[in-house]
Structure 1
Amino acid sequence: MWETDPDVLVTDLGDELILMHAGQGLMFSLNATGRAAWLALPGTPEAVVAALCAAFEVDITQAEADARALLAELAARGVVRRT
């Protein structure tokens, strides 16, 4: 299961999300793919993959790779964590 850090403030711009981690002073944006994955949280990796497949015309293998890479990057930045 993956969950978002409660200290992350989110602004939804429709086709992207702006994330700000107040405690770390980080701010960055997620594109449409990242937005779809973020909105599936908290959730399992399978739920994130399903969200990507539902939102985009992508095969499951590509969605799994994208989800894995995105979750690893977000975890490295401290905005999500595995529970």
Structure 2
Amino acid sequence: AKYFYIEGYFLTHGIESALEVAKGASAHGKTVVLNLSAPFIPQFFKMQLESLLPHVDILIGNESEAAAYATAAGHGDASLE
């Protein structure tokens, strides 16, 4: 496979498997894609998300998910205007 796709919902069940897949794929030059999936993922699973992000090439999120991530990551005003 050229791409590995991980949904943010997967982080609600533990980071170990997702992290192992992402590290392995990244080490072999594969593209890792992570979808934030829902605003509660960055709100309640911030530490898991931050441990996975260094191995992610493409991050997918809609406006509310991006705003939730910005707030959780401490990037100040998360307004999209």
TM-score, length of structure 1 as denominator length: 0.25
**Structure possessing the higher radius of gyration over alpha carbons:** 2
TM-score, length of structure 2 as denominator length: 0.26
More strand by percentage: 1
More helix by percentage: 2
